[in-house]
Structures are given as C-alpha cells and as structure tokens.
C-alpha cells in the first residue's frame, strides 16, 4: 500500500484499471478518426442537441461504413470487425464523445443482425450491404396500439395468397418512419396457435401501394414518430425472414441487441460537460455545483459498471446486469436534461420562438429535450420491464 | 483493464470467509461476542495473525506480507459480510497505515511486526469532539518537555480504542507547526470505552501531559500523509460496506421468497420485487465504484487516491442509505430487531459512514472541484 516501500511490482493481469497498450492504441485510433473524418457541422449538431437531417445521418454513416466502422458487431463477411467486447465499448464511447451520430439503430443494431443471423443467402446479398451503407433506410414495425410492452399481443395480419402475403393492420411509434424506405414488421401469420408462435418477420417496401405513414405530434412539438397503416399490402413471399412462425425468436434476438447499446453513457457525459461550459456562470451557485458533482459521480459509477459488463460478457450474450445499464443510463440521461431545463430557467419558455429570439439556443432547446427524453425510460423495454428482468432473472424473485 | 480476481485472490477470499464462518456462522455468535469483553474475538484475531491477514498491508521488511489494496479490500469485504466486530479497519488499516506512512524504519519494524503477529493492538486517535474528517488536528496539542514530548487534549471517537495497547495520535505541533503523529501507550492516558451504534467498541481518550513518542522525524508537519491514510481507510471501509450491502440484498431476496403473508410468499407482490430490483441496481453501481477506487490505490498517485476516496465515499453513502433502509423495510418488523443481522448491518453502515466521511462531506468536496475538469473519465 501507499506509504510503505512498494512490494514486488505487480505484473498480474487481474484487477487492472488501465487499458492494455493495444486497447489504448485502439481507443486513440477511434478518437482520431471520429474527430477528424466526420464533418464538424454534423458533430456540432449532435453536441449542441439540435436535430440532424436525414442527409446528415446518411452522410455520417457512409463515412463510417467506408472505414469499416458502421457495423462492427456484424459477422465479418458482411462488414463486421473481429473486436473484443471492450473494443466495441470503446468504439461506441468514443463515437458518442466526439458527437458522431451512431449508425442508424434500425439498420445497424436491429434488422442487419437479424438478416445476417436468420436470413436467406439471397436476402443477405440483397439487403446487408445496402443496410450497412444506409442506402436503405429501415423503419421498425413492432409496436401496435394494443401491443406495447406486451408485444406478443400484436394483431397486424399477413394472409397467404399464392406466393405473396397480404398485410392488413396498424403499427405505431415508428421512429423516423417518414424517412423510411423499407420497414421490418412483426405480423401474425397464424392466428390459431399460441400467440408467440404465430408471429413472423416480414420485410416490406414502404412504397408498396397500401402503406401509409401518418405523423404523430409529440409533447416536444417534434415529428419523430409515426403511425404506419397497411391496407391490403401485397408482399412477395421471399421477403419473409426465416420460417413462418419464427418471428418471436427474431424479435427477442433483436431486442437483446437493442438493450446492450441503449445506455448512452458517453453521450450523457458529453451533454453534462457541454452544459457546464455553456452555463458556466451558474456554477457559482453551490446547489448547482452539488447537482453537477452528484451527476458526474453517478455517471462514473455507470460507466464503470458498463466496463464491468463488457469485461464479463462472452459470446455476445448480454451480461444480466445490462438491465442496470438501460435503467440507470436512461434515468441519468433524463436527469441531465432536467438540470439543463433548470439552468435555462425563463429562457426555456422561448422553445418555439423565431430565429430572432434573444435567448440562447441551448436554453431554448432545453424544454423540448427534457420532454423528448421522457421516452428513454419507455423504449427499448420500459424501465419497469427492466426491473422485472432483474427481479426475476437475476434475483430469482 | 480487468475487474476479475486471480486464483490467489480467489483463494484468499475463500480462506478468510472460511475462517470468519468458524466465529460468526450465525448472527447470534456476533451478538454474544459484542456483548462480552473485549467486544471482539481474541482467538479469531490470533488466527488472522497466523494467516498473515493482520500483516497484509505492510511490507515484508516491516514484518508484514506486502500485499496490495485488492487483497486488503477482499478481507474488508468478508469482514463486512458477517459484520465482524474485529478492529481490522481501525487498528490495522488506519492505525497501522499511519505507522507505515510516517514511522522510521525502526519504528515500523517494531510496531508493525508486533501488530502483524497479533501481539500489539493499535488504534488511531485522529478525531476530537467537533472535528469533521479533517487531517489537521487541534483538539490534541503536542508540547516539547525537556528532551521529550507530551500530549494534552481529548480524542473522541477513537474507533477500536477500548482495547488498544497503544494509540497512534495526530496532534497539533507547537507554534502552528502543523500536525504530527505520536505513539502513546494506553497506560499514559485515561480512557472510557463504549459501544458505537453497531455495538463495535470505541473510546474517549484523554491526554493530560501524556508521554508521547513522535513517529518519524520529530516536529515535522505530516498532514499530507495523514490525509492519504484517511483516504485509504475510506476506500477500504467502502469495501467493508460493500460486504454488508451484498449480505443485506441476499437476506432480503431470501426473505421475500420464503416469508408468507395473505397466504402467499412476498415475492408475489410486485411492489416489493421492484424495490429489490432497485436495490440490485444500487449494489452493482457501488460495487463498480469500490473496485475502481481500490484499483486506484495501486496506481500510487495521492491526488488520484483522494479523488477516488471522495467518489466512493459519496457512492457508498447513497447506496448504504438506499439498501440499508430498504432491507429493513422489506423485512418489516423483524428487520428492527437486534437478533436479526439485516438491521444491525444498517447500524454498521451508519457507523462506517460517520466515522470515515459521510455523503454530504464527500459531495461538498467534489462540488468544490466541478470546474477543474471537463468530464470525469473512468480510464
């Protein structure tokens, strides 16, 4: 211990805080790439909490994809990288830290891995390169008005007609569906069997007649999510992934992937750092300093827990504690947005004022951001679902 | 970067756990021990000496084993797990740590050799009434008398002080010369022993012209070393708290699975299982922070250790309140009883926190430094 002459220098690899030279070099390479190759304007848009355009999201993902950094967790034959869990974590953290938009989750984290794992060779050839490069923008068609956390209760039906499927029903909460080229859907192909066993995964071209996207206005005033209606939409049979009835297995596979990347530690750290800089004059208030210090400490505990989880994950199976990351990560994301709102004060009222507003941009965005982030504890398996997973799977209750 | 124990560390954990189980197989054994004199198990203390556990923090040339902070943390976690009342944190980590940090080679070899062998009990007297976790003492004053030193003043609380053979005392040096560290024999003080809220023993120690031996170079201001040893003790105390918290969550989930009300076991009530899930979240977060802070000690940078002590101190305070209080609540009435370990664990957590530095204290220190950095990085 400190204060005593050092014992024999420790060379063991266990209980070490520092990155190995190899991992440190990897992190530096990521940091270098993200901060120099992705346009400043895109990164500033993210760091300042403004909305990205479709073009910016596409441009950023293509820069990453050209470097092999868009879909590192895919199989290597389809553009993945043979990285360790820790390296994936570092890639993700450095990306957030630099303000680089994460590759579109619907493509990179959701349908891409599903097609790579369950799809036919023809589907892989047709969709995976275009999905990685965001030549196809995917939307997610899972939730329905009566099927939220209880997803297996979904009712959108696909009925066989010759080689085709004919789809009728309604999906909802389709994030950025207004940009979508294709939508991956869970549809009921067999109403007779147990509800989980009658579900299939169907890929639908959103330009097909009978597909209609209707915007949902949210409490932040933005248009982020949509309803998607299907009226006698005819879908060729070769667009069903895997076997009919295997959709629930794929959904669980997909949602398991979703949860791992859902704790936005790096982005929340960055948001707090930005807030400290932009609202620096308010740091004179000891109560503000205490809130900042408390949040920084909680974020450190969360980041360390994320590192423990990646260090203990094997074979890509999520560590059970990944529910902790989702639960606490979204709570802290929300808490930082609350602090921003409080620091903005009356300036936050100018949320929908014109460009000639005398209020600063960050302050004007604070109320919409605060309201928008209430979603974080609902999506990706609501935080109550996470508590259920913890109490049942981990605690055995 | 690695958060796993190696085989030797795993073996140490099992050996300590096995030994402690012989003394504190159940909470009733702990109750009997703290109710009798000297408030801990001297036979167990001797076994800990034989196993080399008392000498773990000290170098081999000082008569110790020369282990690292992770190994000492493992021992503290196991002590916390069974609420062992042995004065390990106070006597070995804190008082022994002070001797190791400031003593001369001769003093270290003598005192730490006997401490490691189980032949000498030390206690650190670094707090006087009104003090709040300061490295600079003023409640006890040192004076030069002839060619020696004497101390006057009151130290309280002195954790583990009731049975100590010698006190390692922080005292104000003459003429505003800073803070020195002195060794005082128990015969040269008047002391009143008492039990703290968790029934571990402490003492009020009064110095009245007590003969004192300076540790290290006489008259030198040792405040920085004193602060560092307090930080180390804070971090190892967090390891001890982690052991308590793990036991409390385990006891709570066991109880929810077995206790029946309204004809069903309590785990059928989601209002209760969700609260247990939140306890698990707190536990995982503090576990990560404790491992990190412990590994930070191995880096050897005093400022980094001070920062880690504040961070883990705040985290362990938050989780001690959350888990400690919920463990009692989810047990109901039995959690309030002295015969049940869960509530006594909460008492132990409260003692550890107020002894080593509470949440508001660490938060205030962290808040004072929020503009020193852009963001906090784990690596």
* Distance from the Cα of residue B232 to its chain's centroid: 9
Q: What are A308's two structure tokens?
A: 């423990």
> Do A172 and A227 form a contact (C-beta atoms < 8 A)?
yes
A15 closest CA partner among B242, B292, B301, B233: B292
Rounded Cα distance, B269 and B256, in Å = 9
A317 touches chain B (CB under 8 A): no
B366 contact residues in A (CB cutoff 8 A): 293-294, 296-297
B323 closest CA partner among B284, B352, B273, B282: B282
Rounded Cα distance, B289 and B247, in Å = 18
According to DSSP, the residues that pair with A216 across neighbouring strands are: A225
Q: Which residues contact A133 (CB under 8 A, 6 or more apart)?
A: A61, A62, A65, A70
Q: CB neighbours (10 Å) of residue A371?
A: 17
The pLDDT of residue A314 is: 54
B127 closest CA partner among B73, B183, B204: B204
| 3-class secondary structure, A164 | strand
* Distance from the Cα of residue B48 to its chain's centroid: 17
- Nearest residue on chain B to A280, alpha-carbon basis: B371
> Do A342 and A305 form a contact (C-beta atoms < 8 A)?
no
Strands, DSSP E only, in chain A? 138-141, 157-161, 164-171, 182-188, 199-205, 211-216, 225-236, 240-241
pLDDT tens, position by position, A47-91: 888 889 999 999 999 999 999 999 999 999 999 999 988 899 899
The pLDDT of residue A149 is: 83
The answer for A 266-285 residues in CB contact with B (under 8 A) is 269-270, 272-273, 276-277, 280, 283
Kindly report, as residue ranges, where domains of CATH 1.20.140.10 are found in chain B: 224-372
A354 touches chain B (CB under 8 A): no
Which of A85, A93, A224, A258 is flagged as catalytic? A258
Largest CA distance in chain A: 82
> Do B341 and B255 form a contact (C-beta atoms < 8 A)?
no
Kindly report, as residue ranges, where domains of CATH 1.10.540.10 are found in chain B: 7-120
CA distance A66 to chain B (A): 29
A88 touches chain B (CB under 8 A): no
CA distance B300 to chain A (A): 6
The answer for A 3-32 residues in CB contact with B (under 8 A) is 3-8, 10, 12-20, 23
Instruction: Look up residue A321 and give its DSSP letter.
Output: T
Per-residue pLDDT of chain A (397 residues; tens, 9 = 90+): 555 444 444 444 577 788 899 999 999 999 999 999 999 999 999 988 888 999 999 999 999 999 999 999 999 999 999 998 889 989 999 999 999 999 999 999 999 999 999 999 999 999 999 999 999 999 999 999 999 888 999 999 999 999 999 999 999 999 999 999 999 999 999 999 999 999 999 999 999 999 999 999 999 999 999 999 999 999 999 999 999 999 999 998 887 765 555 578 889 999 999 999 999 999 999 999 999 999 999 999 999 998 888 876 655 555 667 889 999 999 999 999 999 999 999 999 999 999 899 999 999 999 999 999 999 999 888 999 999 999 999 999 9
Considering only CB atoms, B366 lies closest to which of A15, A86, A297, namely A297
Question: What's the ipTM?
Answer: 0.96
Contact A387 B298 (CB under 8 A): no
Is A258 one of the annotated active-site residues of the chain? yes
Separation in Å, CA A387 to CA A254, A303, B277: 19, 20, 5
CATH number of A21-103: 1.10.540.10
Helical residues (DSSP H) of A261-321, grouped into ranges: 265-278, 286-312
Q: What are A373's two structure tokens?
A: 């982030």
Pairing relation of β-strands A138-141 and A157-161? unpaired
Pairing relation of β-strands A199-205 and A182-188? antiparallel
The pLDDT of residue A100 is: 96
Sketch the domain layout of chain A as residue ranges.
Answer: 21-103, 138-244, 262-394
Pairing relation of β-strands B179-185 and A182-188? unpaired
Concatenating the DSSP letter of every residue in B301-329 gives -HHHHHHHHHHHHHHHHHHHHHHHHHHHH
Q: What are A181's two structure tokens?
A: 């080229």
Rounded Cα distance, B208 and A131, in Å = 81
Rounded Cα distance, B268 and A195, in Å = 25
| 3-class secondary structure, B236 | helix
CATH code matching the domain that covers B224-372, chosen among 3.30.230.70, 3.10.20.30, 1.25.40.10, 1.20.140.10: 1.20.140.10
Decide if A21-103 and A262-394 have a common fold: no
Q: What are A19's two structure tokens?
A: 């990155």
Q: Which residues contact A78 (CB under 8 A, 6 or more apart)?
A: A71, A112, A116, A124, A128, A129, A132
Concatenating the DSSP letter of every residue in B159-216 gives ETTTS-SEEEEEEEPGGG--EEEEEEEGGGSEEEEEE-TTS-EEEEEEEEEEEEEESS
- Nearest residue on chain B to A396, alpha-carbon basis: B253
> Do A316 and A359 form a contact (C-beta atoms < 8 A)?
no
CATH number of A138-244: 2.40.110.10
Considering only CB atoms, A14 lies closest to which of B5, B59, B232, namely B5
CATH code matching the domain that covers B7-120, chosen among 3.30.200.20, 1.10.3720.10, 1.10.540.10, 3.40.50.300: 1.10.540.10
> Do A41 and A34 form a contact (C-beta atoms < 8 A)?
no
pLDDT tens, position by position, A339-391: 999 999 999 999 999 989 999 999 999 999 999 999 999 988 899 999 999 99
A294 touches chain B (CB under 8 A): yes
Pairing relation of β-strands B166-172 and B179-185? antiparallel
Concatenating the DSSP letter of every residue in B97-152 gives HHHHHHS-HHHHHHHHHHHHHTS--EEEE---TT--S-SS--SEEEEEETTEEEEE
| Superfamily per CATH, domain B123-221 | Butyryl-CoA Dehydrogenase, subunit A, domain 2 (2.40.110.10)
Kindly report, as residue ranges, where domains of CATH 2.40.110.10 are found in chain B: 123-221
Q: Which residues contact A146 (CB under 8 A, 6 or more apart)?
A: A153, A155
CATH code matching the domain that covers A262-394, chosen among 1.20.140.10, 3.40.190.10, 3.30.1180.10, 3.90.420.10: 1.20.140.10
């Amino acid at each position: 211990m400190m204060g005593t002459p050092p014992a024999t220098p420790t060379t063991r690899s266990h209980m070490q805080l520092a990155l190995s030279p190899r991992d440190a070099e990897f992190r530096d390479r990521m940091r270098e790439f993200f901060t120099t190759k992705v346009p400043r304007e895109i990164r500033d848009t993210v760091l300042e909490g403004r909305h990205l355009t479709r073009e910016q999201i596409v441009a950023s993902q293509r820069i990453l994809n050209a470097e092999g950094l868009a879909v590192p967790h895919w199989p290597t034959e389809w553009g993945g990288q043979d990285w360790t869990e820790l390296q994936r974590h570092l890639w993700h953290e450095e990306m957030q830290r630099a303000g680089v938009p994460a590759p579109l989750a619907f493509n990179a984290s959701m349908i891409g891995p599903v097609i790579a794992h369950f799809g036919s060779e023809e589907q892989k050839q047709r969709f995976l390169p275009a999905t990685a490069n965001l030549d196809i923008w995917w939307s997610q068609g899972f939730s329905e008005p009566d099927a939220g956390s209880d997803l297996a209760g979904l009712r959108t039906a696909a009925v066989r007609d010759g080689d085709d499927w004919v789809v009728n029903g309604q999906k909802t909460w389709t994030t950025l569906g207004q940009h979508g080229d294709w939508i991956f859907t869970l549809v009921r192909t067999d109403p007779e069997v147990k509800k989980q066993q009658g579900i299939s995964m169907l890929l639908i071209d959103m330009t097909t007649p009978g597909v209609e996207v209707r915007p949902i206005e949210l409490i932040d005033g933005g248009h982020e999510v949509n309803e998607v209606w299907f009226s006698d939409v005819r879908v060729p049979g070769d667009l069903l992934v895997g076997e009919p009835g295997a959709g629930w297995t794929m959904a669980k596979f997909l949602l398991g992937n979703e949860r791992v990347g859902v704790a936005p530690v790096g982005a929340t750290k960055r948001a707090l750092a930005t807030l400290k800089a932009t609202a620096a004059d308010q740091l004179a208030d000891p109560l503000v300093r205490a809130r900042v210090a408390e949040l920084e400490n909680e974020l450190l505990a969360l980041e360390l827990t994320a590192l423990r989880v990646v260090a203990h994950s094997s074979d890509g199976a999520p560590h059970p504690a990944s529910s902790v990351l989702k639960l606490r990560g979204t709570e802290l994301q929300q808490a930082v947005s609350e602090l921003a709102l409080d620091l903005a004060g009356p300036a936050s009222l100018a949320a929908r004022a014109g460009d000639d507003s005398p209020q600063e941009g960050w302050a004007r965005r604070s109320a919409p951001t605060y309201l928008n982030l209430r979603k974080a504890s609902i999506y990706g398996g609501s935080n109550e679902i996470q508590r259920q997973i913890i109490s049942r799977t981990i605690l055995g209750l | 970067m690695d958060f796993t124990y190696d085989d030797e560390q795993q073996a140490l954990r099992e050996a300590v756990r096995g030994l402690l189980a012989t003394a504190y197989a159940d909470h009733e054994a702990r109750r009997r021990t703290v109710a009798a004199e000297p408030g801990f198990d001297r036979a167990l203390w001797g076994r800990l000496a034989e196993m080399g556990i008392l000498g773990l923090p000290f170098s081999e040339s000082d008569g110790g084993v020369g282990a690292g902070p992770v190994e000492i943390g493992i021992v503290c976690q196991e002590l916390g797990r069974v609420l062992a009342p042995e004065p390990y944190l106070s006597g070995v980590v804190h008082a022994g740590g002070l001797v190791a940090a400031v003593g001369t080679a001769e003093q270290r070899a003598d005192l730490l050799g006997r401490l490691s062998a189980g032949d000498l009990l030390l206690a650190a007297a670094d707090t006087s009434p009104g003090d709040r976790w300061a490295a600079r003492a003023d409640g006890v004053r040192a004076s030069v008398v002839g060619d020696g030193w004497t101390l006057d003043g009151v130290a309280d609380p002195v954790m583990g002080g009731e049975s100590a053979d010698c006190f390692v005392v922080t005292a104000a040096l003459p003429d505003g010369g800073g803070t020195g560290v002195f060794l005082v024999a128990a015969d040269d003080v008047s002391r009143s022993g008492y039990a703290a809220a968790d029934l571990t023993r402490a003492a009020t120690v009064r110095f009245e012209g007590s003969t004192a031996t300076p540790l290290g170079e006489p008259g030198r201001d040792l405040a920085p070393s004193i602060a560092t040893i307090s930080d180390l003790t804070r971090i190892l105390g967090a390891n001890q708290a982690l052991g308590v918290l793990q036991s409390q969550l385990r006891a709570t989930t066991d109880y929810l699975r077995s206790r029946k009300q309204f004809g069903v076991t309590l785990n059928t009530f989601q209002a209760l299982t969700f609260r247990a899930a939140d306890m698990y979240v707190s536990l995982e977060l503090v576990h990560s922070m404790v491992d990190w802070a412990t590994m930070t000690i191995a880096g050897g940078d005093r400022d980094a250790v001070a920062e880690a002590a504040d961070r883990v101190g705040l985290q362990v305070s938050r989780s001690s309140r959350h888990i400690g209080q919920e463990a009692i609540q989810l047990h109901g009435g039995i959690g309030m009883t002295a015969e049940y370990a869960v509530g006594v664990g909460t008492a132990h957590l409260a003692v550890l926190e107020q002894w080593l530095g509470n949440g508001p204290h660490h938060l205030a220190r962290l808040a004072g430094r929020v503009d020193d950095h852009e963001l906090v990085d784990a690596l």
